[in-house]
Amino acid sequence: MNVLVPDFDFHRVFIAPWTENLASFGWITLMGFLVTATCGWVGNFLILRRMALVGDAISHSVLPGLAVAFLLSQSRGTLPMFLGALVAGIVATVLIELIHKKSRVKQDAAIGIAFTSLFALGVILINLYAGKGGVDLDQECVLYGEIAFVPLEPMVMVGGQILGPIPVVRMGFVALATALLIALFYKELLVSSFDPALAVSLGISATFVHYALMGWLSVVVVSAFESVGAILVIAMLILPGATATLLSHRLPVMLGLTLLHAALSAVLGIHLALWLDCSPAGAMVVAGTLIFVAAWIFSPSEGLLRRWFRARLEAPAVGSS
């Protein structure tokens, strides 16, 4: 192909994937949905706790943990990966605390220093070892993930039934676990996010909730990492929650809207990627961004249009009084 933006061919973009290539596109779309939904749920709480950029930091910091885990175990097994990422996530949290408690560097700079250093370390490790010892983790995977290769992964079979490719099944479990954890600890999460002092006076340790959330965030980020890379994960964490915030004032509704956003951005994203022939993970985020922008403009309660109309309605009233 010699043009940047290929001609829009309705059949190729919208029909063919579902009629001719359902197996692979189905898995990719499902994976995109699971990643965005899971990240989005955790992200809702990050946004409420004003910790959106801690998500940024953690998602960068898990890289050296993954690299070291791959090197030590010489495999891409699930357990070493989770352990490596968990350790790296904790190291990042500790380093941030260490820098800003033991020196006069403020927290924002401490976050910036810790995660860029860890990320740089990770990139160098990967570059030194790329392609060696069966470790096929490379720069592209770090940047925009390999969601397109999901259908090529080995299938998980249960009782002769195909359950799905390994990453999808793994992400499915993480998604279910996330939903379960949120349901079980909903009130602890809610009160410690809204009013940490009250939480402590009720006997709920805000510090514990904080570290538990960070730990689970590392797990979610790792399971999303292979598909969407270290940086697009941030978009998956923030976009759904931010969009939901613009559309509702109720947390349960927002969690539902997060699912909707995830489904829409996965489906629209895959078609966008097919049309433009670009990175599917990137396209899913672009689709999610478009949905956010739409909510920003058209939100019935507080969209830009609504604000504009209200300002126009009120202006003459102020003038006459």
- Considering beta carbons, is residue 142 or 168 the nearer one to other proteins? 142
Residue selected from 27, 144, 216, 225 as contacting other proteins according to rule CB under 8 A: 144
Interacting residues with other proteins between 164 and 183 (CB under 8 A): none
Burial 154-168 (b: 16+ CB within 10 A, else e): eebeeeeeeebbbbb
Interacting residues with other proteins between 202 and 221 (CB under 8 A): 202-204
Total number of residues that touch other proteins (CB under 8 A): 102
Residue selected from 22, 94, 152, 157 as contacting other proteins according to rule CB under 8 A: 94
Cα angle 118, 116, 31; round to 5:
80
d(CA 272, CA 223): 24
Helices 22-48 and 206-247, packing angle to 10 deg: 110
Interacting residues with other proteins between 104 and 143 (CB under 8 A): 104-106, 108-113, 116-117, 119-121, 123-125, 127-129, 139, 143
- Considering beta carbons, is residue 174 or 272 the nearer one to other proteins? 272
8 A C-beta contact, residue 37 and residue 258: yes
The candidate with the shortest Cα–Cα distance to 45, out of 255, 291, 236, is: 255
8 A C-beta contact, residue 270 and residue 280: yes
Write out the two tokens for 24. 């692979």
- Considering beta carbons, is residue 166 or 290 the nearer one to other proteins? 290
Q: In this chain, which stretch among 14-22, 25-33, 194-202, 313-321 interacts with other proteins, using CB under 8 A?
A: 194-202
Residues 6+ apart with CB under 8 A from 226: 141, 145, 146, 167
Could you give the string, one character per residue 31-70, with x where binding to other proteins holds by CB under 8 A and - elsewhere? ----------------xx-xxxx-xx-------x---x--
8 A C-beta contact, residue 137 and residue 17: no
Interacting residues with other proteins between 252 and 311 (CB under 8 A): 254, 273, 276-279, 281-283, 285-286, 288-289, 292, 296, 302, 304, 307
Q: Taking the complex as a whole, how short is the minimal distance between the CB of residue 169 and other proteins, in angstroms?
A: 26
Residue selected from 8, 23, 79, 103 as contacting other proteins according to rule CB under 8 A: 103
Residue 189 lies near other proteins (rule: CB under 8 A):
no
